[in-house]
Amino acid sequence: MSRYIATRALRGANLIVREAEKMLEEAIAQYGENQPVAFTNTAYYLPVILGFTGLEVSTLGQLRPVIQHAKSLLHGLPSEQLWLPYLGETLDAGVATLLAEEAIEAIRFVRGEQPERIPGLRLTGTSFTSPDVEKGEGGGYANGPIDDIQLRAWGIQLVDGRMPGFAAIIGAAKSNEVAVEIVRQLQQRNILIFLSGNVNGRSIIHQLMEEGVEMGYDTYIVPFGTDTISAIYALGFATRSALTFGGMKGGQARQILLYNKYRVFAFALALGEVDDLKYATAAGAINYGFPVIADTVIPEIRPTGVTQYEHVISMPFDDIEGKDDLERARRLVQRCIEVRGVKVKITEVPIPVPYGSAFEGERVRRADMRVEFGGKNSRCFEYLRMADMDEVEDHKIQVIGPGLETVEEGGAMDLGILVEVAGRKMQQDFEPVLERQIHYFINGASGVQHIGQRDITWIRISKAAVEKGFRLEHLGEILYARFHSDFGAIVDKVQVTLITDPEKHAEWLAKARAAYDFRNKRLAEMTDESVDTFYSCTLCQSFAP
């Protein structure tokens, strides 16, 4: 555990708990202990407090035990001379921070300061429970806590995988363009986006407003507020998900946190400078198993434990490889997805022709053929190989050499299909198994015929498919979508290269044949004694060679 992170988080936690205590006493003096407190249009009282303590807070006076519990979780700053493990103390400080932040937001509701007023903000997909409608105004308010109707709608999608997870973005991006690109990349993956925080008074909410980006339930972009404290609504959403869909009860803190670690694939993305309160809030998020990624220089916590993979990752934005800021933004989002282990579910193959198993037996006759790869007149191979995570750029599809439109009608050309996959659970033994799936995946496209495998592959594309806009890169789109959809448990990233350039084709064909030969020899030399389990089925062991 980083001593620097522990110091900043503990300092931030102590400050926010003191602030919450002061605000509470002032509110009680003004409104009285029996003043009702609640997040509008939500159940579970104050959800984070309910989840961690089991306390059903409904009045200001009932917040006093919460603040006392938060104070009991605080620790002094680490010593300069003696370095000790700080993880437990830092996680405690994170919980204290969350309790204090939720208490502050509850007090703000009493004062009429929540949801936050943001002039010019208009939310899409609001219901009769939204602050805009409730106050009789046409807009100008942040969302505040997500209402129960929307929680149930999104919660079902989180459970069945249609929505892979959520991203809590805190701060402000390097530029408006970067902010928009980050959000669009998350939207493309159906990842829910929660916005909060600021850097020197400027929030990503302001950046998206200036660029005309629609925010609200309909667009999966929910602005909670322009300060760090409003990030508590994201963790309240996570807690309510466990209470609603996990069958947990208030006070079952361990079960709620484990549910979120293994079932709710969320992460925090800190954009811009990270202050003490952001460190403390991040420590609270880590309790849920949610990793934190920052686009600035901060100490990292790479060992796994509370989170499934890394806890804290630093990716200084300007140091990210990329030709421009937009590419850096895409790589930043991809890294976030890797760190949390978010599995993106692709439900539709984005190609201009119909796609489905009904087309797998389709044949493209020579009279209907626009172009062919392989067969008697050209060479075609397919090769899938495993690579390290940092060597594969997810959804990168490129064509090296001329496209199929350069070939005369009914002609042939050489083609190499190189698929590079990476995944935390991927193994080299899986390569030939996944490679064989290319045949079935490509055959699902209407007007495309695939026969053979390895370096005797034969592909035909019909005139009708090409007229509808089918090109070589669409073969890559098919493979990208299907590998993610069918083998998402072991494949995290897929990159496809279509090779028609003669020199590159010859180079990769030689590499592919070397890999085929290695696989053949390894399989031929395999015996019962050389593997842990040769035939796992007892019946097979009795008669299989």
Q: Which H/E stretch holds residue 416?
A: strand 415-422
Give the C-alpha separation, 50 to 43, whole Å. Answer: 11
Whether the Cβ atoms of residue 230 and residue 196 lie closer than 8 Å to each other: yes
- Number of structural domains (the chain) is 2
Nearest partner of 169 among 210, 211, 198, 202, judged by Cα: 198
Helices (H), 296-376: 325-340
- Residue 445 located in a structural domain: yes
- Cα of 183 vs its chain's centroid, Å: 12
Are 309 and 220 members of one domain? yes
The DSSP output letter for 123 is E
Q: What type of residue is 410?
A: G
pLDDT in tens, 364-413: 999 999 999 998 889 999 999 999 998 999 999 999 999 999 999 999 99
Q: DSSP characters for 18-34? A: HHHHHHHHHHHHHH-TT
Domain boundary among 340, 365, 382: 340
The answer to whether the Cα torsion of 512, 522, 492, 333 is positive or negative is negative
Whether 368 and 328 map to the same domain: the answer is no
Name the one residue in this structure whose structure tokens are 């899938």: 384
Residue 543, in any domain of the structure? no
Looking at per-residue pLDDT, the higher value among 358 and 347 belongs to 358
Position 153, amino acid: A
Alpha-carbon distance 119 to 116, whole Å? Answer: 10
- Is the domain of 362 the same as that of 226? no
Tokens matching residue 460: 């035909």
Residues near 129 by beta carbon (within 8 Å), at least 6 away in sequence? 40, 41, 147, 149
DSSP 199: B
Report the candidate in 382, 405, 401 with the shortest Cα–Cα distance to residue 501.
401
Q: Do 322 and 362 share a domain, yes or no?
A: no
Q: What pLDDT score does 545 carry?
A: 47
Specify the 3-state DSSP secondary structure of 498: strand
Q: What is the pLDDT averaged over residues 111-117?
A: 94
- What's the confidence (pLDDT) of residue 96? 97
276, containing H or E segment: helix 276-287
For residue 107, the surrounding DSSP H or E stretch is helix 87-111
> Is there a cis peptide before residue 115, judged by omega within 30 degrees of 0?
yes
Last residue of one domain, picked from the residues 315, 340, 365? 340
Domain of 334 in residue numbering reads as 3-340
Residues of the chain above pLDDT 70, percent = 92
Q: Is the pLDDT of residue 122 over 80?
A: yes
Q: Pick from 340, 371, 400: which residue ends a domain?
A: 340
Residue 539 forms part of a structural domain: no
- CATH number of the domain bearing residue 383: 3.30.1650.10
Looking at the domain assignment, is residue 545 inside a domain? no
315 lies in the same domain as 393? no
Is it the case that residue 24 has pLDDT exceeding 90?
Answer: yes
| Token pair for 138 | 């046409």
Cα of 349 vs its chain's centroid, Å: 20
Confidence of residue 98 (pLDDT cuts 50, 70, 90): very high
**Per the domain annotation, does 461 fall within a domain?**
yes
CATH number for 319: 3.40.50.2030
Q: Is the pTM of this model over 0.85?
A: no
Q: Specify whether 255 is located in the same domain as 363.
A: no
Residue 351 domain flag = no
Co-location of 387 and 445 in the same domain: yes
Task: Say whether pLDDT at 511 is over 90.
Answer: yes
Q: Identify the residue with better confidence: 83 or 419.
A: 419
Among residues 462, 440, 481, the alpha carbon closest in space to that of 353 is found at: 462
Tokens of 219: 């667009």
Report the relative pairing of strands 266-271 and 166-171 from DSSP bridges.
parallel
CA distance 371 to 463: 8
Roughly how many angstroms between the first and final C-alpha of the chain, as a whole number? 53
Which pLDDT band, with edges at 50, 70 and 90, does 513 fall under?
very high
Report pLDDT for 379: 95
Tell me what percent of the residues of the chain surpass a pLDDT of 90: 71
Question: Where does the pLDDT of residue 83 fall: very low under 50, low under 70, confident under 90, or very high at 90 and above?
Answer: low
Q: How confident is the model at residue 3 (pLDDT cuts 50, 70, 90)?
A: confident
The predicted pLDDT at position 506 comes to 95
Output the CA–CA distances (angstroms, integers) from residue 23 to 18, 59, 131, 232, in the order listed. 9, 14, 23, 17
Structure tokens at 244: 């609603």
pLDDT digits (tens, 9 = 90+) for 264-306: 889 999 999 999 999 999 999 999 999 999 999 999 888 778 8
pLDDT, position 476: 95
Same domain, 146 and 30: yes
What's the Rg (C-alpha) of the chain? 27
User: Is the same domain home to 328 and 468?
Assistant: no
- Asked whether residue 540 is domain-assigned, the answer is no
Helix, coil or strand: residue 495: strand
Q: Are residues 335 and 385 in the same domain?
A: no
Report CA torsion sign: 286, 291, 292, 298.
positive
Sorted by sequence, the CB contacts under 8 Å of residue 382 that are 6+ apart come out as 416, 417, 419, 435, 438, 453, 454, 457, 512
pLDDT above 80: residue 356: yes
Name which residue leads in pLDDT, 399 or 160. 399
Say whether pLDDT at 25 is over 70: yes
pLDDT value at residue 257: 95
Q: Is the pLDDT of residue 129 over 60?
A: no
The pair of structure tokens assigned to 1 is 């555990």
What is the average pLDDT score of the chain? 90
Q: What is the pLDDT of residues 219-265, one digit of tens each?
A: 899 999 999 999 999 999 999 999 998 889 999 999 999 999 998 88
Is 532 part of any domain? no
Pair 494, 446 in one domain: yes
366 and 494 share one domain: yes
Q: 417 by DSSP, 3-state: which?
A: strand
Rounded mean pLDDT of 21-47?
95
Q: Are 451 and 519 in contact (CB under 8 A)?
A: no
